[in-house]
Structure 1
Amino acid sequence: MRASRQTLGQVALLVGGALVCAFISDQVATQRALAQDAAQAAEQMRLYADSLRRYVDRYRTLPAVLALDPQLRAALASPLDAASQAHLNERLEEVNGVTQSSTLTLIDRSGLSVAASNWRLPSSNVGYQYAFRPYFQQAVVDGHGSFYGVGATTGVPGYFISDAVHGAGGTVLGVVVIKVDLRELEAQWADSRDIVFISDEHGVVFLANRAAWRYRELHTLSNDDASQIARTRQYGDLPLRPLIADRRLPDDSAAARLRFAGPDGHHLDVLWQRLPLPGERWTLHLLQDTAPALAAGRVAGIAAGGAWLAVLLLALFVQSRLRLSRLRRRSREELEQMVKQHAAALRTAQDGVVEAARRSALGQSASLEHLPQGVSVIDADLRLVAWNRRYVEFFRYPPELMQVGRPIEDLFRFNAQRGLLGDGDEDEAIRRRLEHLRAGTPHLHERERPDGTVLEIRGNPLPGGGFVTSYADITQYKNVARDLRTLAGTLERRIEARTHDLALAKGEAERANLYKTRFVAAAVHDLLQPLNAARMFISALRHRDADHEAQTLIDNVDEALSAQDALLTGLLDISRLESGALEVRRRELRLGSLLETLAREFGVLAQARGLSLHYVPTHAVVRTDEDLLRRIVQNFLSNAIRYTPRGRIVLGCRRAGDAVRIEVWDSGIGIPDAQRHAIFEEFRRLDTGHNASERGAGLGLAIVERIARLLGHPIGLRSWPGRGSVFSVTVPRGDATALAATPATVRLADDDSPLRGLQGWCLDDDARVREATRALLETWGASVALYADADAALSAAAADAVPDFLLLDYRLGDVAGPDCVPTLFERWGRPIPVIVISAERDAALQARVREAGWGFLAKPIRPAALRALISGLVARGV
């Protein structure tokens, strides 16, 4: 009893200790993972914010530069006639086309739009009153303004940036407004696994990478906020709904964990982080799923408890660490992608400055003060006419040097004296720069200053002479790029190790696949042997007198064998496609001849089913593999006939750019949306109840999908349940001049018995096939000698008894049938027509047979094909 109590106490202590360790490890690992995820998310938010700021800065320059345009000032200073207004519209349309913004609008001092870049559209801004918009009111009071809202006339949301147009006395003549479409940022953020959105100063979400999160209230709007939104028509008629039903939002801390039901109905457990954007009075939000962190905590708890119980459970902990490593590596890859996008946005941030300055007159530098880049403008005489404070800060110019009309050479000389133009002769360096400006050649380069600052300098000429140059500080980007290169080196070494492991695994898979291919080929050969014999026996029975009931039984057996033939052929094709053994032979092909032949063949079948098949002729030339393309279209037509109870089928093609799309239309039962992907899987058939006895094995479309993938020909499907379907395959166009002349086909005159009196040999290791071959050939009036192996045939071969043709099985036990043919020809003293029969449909085998001048038939053979081939070879004396 005492020993029992002691054992029970030990077990309780062991289990209790494992539970305590598991709980503590779970809490610690979860908090640590959440902290790491929060740090990574904060870095991602900074990159998102930089991306937004760079994107907006691309367009922020344009209103400031256009506000200096004398033409716009003159238009606002006096009444406009129709011709002047049309000219202004075209001018704004041209500038807008260069900058790729949404719209450009010119508004007079009363708030009335007098010109706009979208003046040609029905939703034109021209003639509308915009005095109620905050961006107009801000520009009139402060000189420039900004506002996000839904367009009052277009209904399209965007970010409006405005600058006031001043007259000679400093009076406000009007406002220039550019509308920037921020949906491009949403497209860039759409691939993120996290939820990213931006809210305005009222707490309304207006930009998000999930559609269900847009135009949601983070908290209940105050009366003043609701009144202001309604007065400015910021969101038009869009309904603003609460983001969270019970309004439980995190406080103003940078990060907080929150559980709630999202707008799309999914329950979320996220780490909610905020980043204020003071320049726009917006807030950037990032909601990161806590599931990986919680999973990491649970795995750590299980690992700690398992270590207490047994050392063998240590593998689980290692697995959890590997999973965390993969998650962090994925996060680093996403961070690298964001940095690349940041770099691209940074390198193109100057485009708005350059293109806008090309189409603007020179004027006051004060309008450029709010730009983040340093900007300088010189005239055709190489004299300084405009600049901003940022330009002066970059080069620390003294105040007395910065004067309108100052030769740019003076600024170059000032920089040369401080060593900013590099080593060498100062006069030569200044002369080169002046000649470059006179030549008006655009340039883009980077310069590293002695203090480590890296400047990106971009210059472009202005129409009529002059030059505009912008300077951007890209030091931070260079530092990040250097860190990324170090990280990339580490990742590359890890990838090399993983690549070696994958190469070993690939070798094992390839060997296994080769074994599978050989096994399938041998199995299909053995399965086709009795099927081939049965088909020939059935053909022989058709030529004997039988009553109607017996003929019906023969027809039923023939149909069953045909179904089995199709199933085995499909399995063999699937095997060859999966293993890559199918060779593709592309060439130019006249599509009309192929489609016309298929329409004629399947037209008879359609007519027998009470359907009509209509073919639309074509003269298109395509480049493809004719045999494989034929298989695709055959399957489309076969399916259309099988699943069309009444009506008609149409075969034709359409132009599709540099390709041709072959289409098969039917008026059949159609395919439900839920089954449109499943029908391309093996052994999947539509369970429609129509013609159930004639449904296929479910391999046709699976073969189509694999052949199309092998050829690189996209397949398409459109369907309307109860009305019909359209299957299509798109084939690239070919070169008509590359078509070779097609030799004429030799046709034999029909005869009641073209084989009557011929003597043949059949060399096959299957007794049933030999007997079936004899029965079939005797119905055609020919006699045949049967041999089971090569030794028996060689023993019987003699020069005084040469047969008229030889039927040869490719596989004779462990040897290949064609290997014995040269010895037979030697004993006969001459070659005779040879027909190789094989269950293997290998293109290389068929090419070898045709190169020898022999015939080839694939098992199970069709009696009509065998009869035609024997007749043709004997007639030509091959």
Structure 2
Amino acid sequence: MNDTSTSQSQIDLLQAALDHVNQGFSVFDQDLKLLAWNRGLWEMLDFPQTLAKRGTHLEEFLRVNAERGEYGLGDIEGKIKRRLERAKLFEPHYFERVRPNGQVIAVSGTPLPQGGFVTTYSDVTESRRKQEKLERTVEERTRALRQSEDWLRLVTDNIPALIAYMAPGPVYRFANRRYAEWFGQSVTSIVGKSGAEVLGSQLFGEISDHIEHAFRGNAVSYEYQRELPDGRTVSMRSTVIPDMTVDGRTLGVFVLSLDATEQKRSEATLMQSQRMDAVGKLTGGLAHDFNNLLTILMGNLLGLSRLDGTIGAEALKSRISPMLKATQRGSDLTQRLLAFSRGRPVDPKVIPVTSVLENVETLLRGSLSSAIDLKVGAAARHIAVRIDPTQMETALINLAFNSRDAMPSGGTIEIQLEEVDLDGRSAAELGVTPGRFARVAVADNGIGMNDETRLRVFEPFFTTKTFGTGSGLGLSMVYGFARQSRGAAHVTSALGKGTEIALYLPSVTLNNSDLAALGAGNDDGAPLPHGDGELVLLVEDNADVAKVLAEQIKDLGYTVLVAESAADGLALASDLGEVRAVITDIVMPGQINGLALARQIARNRPNIAIALMTGYADWGNLQPDGQDIGFPVLTKPVRNDRLAHTLSEILRKKTGARD
């Protein structure tokens, strides 16, 4: 076989291979004449077979296409000429052409080194239809999603709640209109901003721990207060729920906030109702205590009236000492009862749990019958909690009275305090964050509860008592107090075996210096500070009270001048330069009260030391904005140690100011 035959065989083999390619193929030389092609070109583009020969010029292919409308309507010769001129440039090119029958052909040309070019033709009709279908589907779904988002926006914007979504950072990704406007933003401007930017540094600092806890995968509820531009203070209650994947990753958090101002007012009203209900139950026992105190006072006074002038100092002291103790106990009982019954705004503070238990024990001792044995274990003085003490006292007294009612024939009530460390599982069962908690348990050996009652015991208005004898709100308020304090309440009970209700409150461990600071001012038997004859102006409208107080002040080493009205007090303080200190009652007849008098004197003579005194428990209402009134306040009857320390302290401060 010669070389020519071999070359022809190789060309035939190459042509057979090209004919099996599923694309059209053509090669044109530098004169734009056809050199090679494959069968796919004619099958795909339907060219006449007369063109399928070497040397056919490109113009003939272009003319066939132009005449059958492949290039559209118009000037056929012009269309052919423009395409030939572009072809002569021999530049790489790619374009897609839609044929009149709808077929889409992708044309890709590559120039050859000596001139000419290789072109491939691909039928992309099906892939383009799929792409168009996909694009239409995407467009339809985008439109549906946009419509869905519009509906979601419409719904969330009209819900009376603040709704938002925060991504890690935390950064806002969504907020409804109410939420955005609440923080001075728009629904578009809030997106992408950080929590600190939107909430402000102060509020964000207050709630950042809750947000972080939610991003760790925990549902969180909390409350905060915010002052509006018109001066009103509103209470908000927020719930934050993590947005988590199946494998436990937190993508973000959903935030729902509701205006709880009215609800807080209602809760305060209910709490006051509970306090007054408890006061009614306490009254009988306290009356018994006061009768005993009056018996001590009356008996000793009668004894003194029968003594002659030869009575010795020891005999006189033996009569006076129990009267002073009885007077002090009566004063303590009165102040605690008044503070408990009137309540105060929720005012969380760090306080030793034992101090609350001691107050509760004082109020309960005379209120429980002799058939009830009250045991209070309050030795762990280092355990403190951040709570509102009045709320906690209310809760414990409610629990104690429930225990009393469960023991109609008598029994034992134990109030015990301990510190416990809750691990993850125990904390999850109680619905709290793991950590150290003060556990205050009130237990009795009464009739107990069945499982149905135990499971419903914290429900509002649920009660097992006879109609008219219980509101069903006591234990729900106990539960609410525990949850508000970021703690929990747990019931253990069985029929015939008694009941234990335990409060779990996040604990703060106090060291000795903390305890000393909290207990500062207590009378520990040390000598009382005395004056050096300084002139003290006493303003008191009750002559008998003024006489007793004047004697107390004189006994502490001071000279006393008494004024019977605020007007007299103001005149004496202004005219007598020798007056070094003023002690004035707060509530007095006339147009000016003691607080206004103190402020006027302080303006006129800033170097005078001033203290107030009152027999009322709610004197703080004189300063409705909750700010400090600026002067120390002594509670009547005025204890000698409190009077001595207060006078010494206010004079020391003024002396230091002058120096």
Structure 1 length as normaliser, TM-score?
Answer: 0.31
The structure showing larger relative contact order (alpha-carbon pairs under 8 Å, at least 6 residues apart) is: 1
- Pick the structure with greater CA Rg: 2
Structure 2 length as normaliser, TM-score?
Answer: 0.39
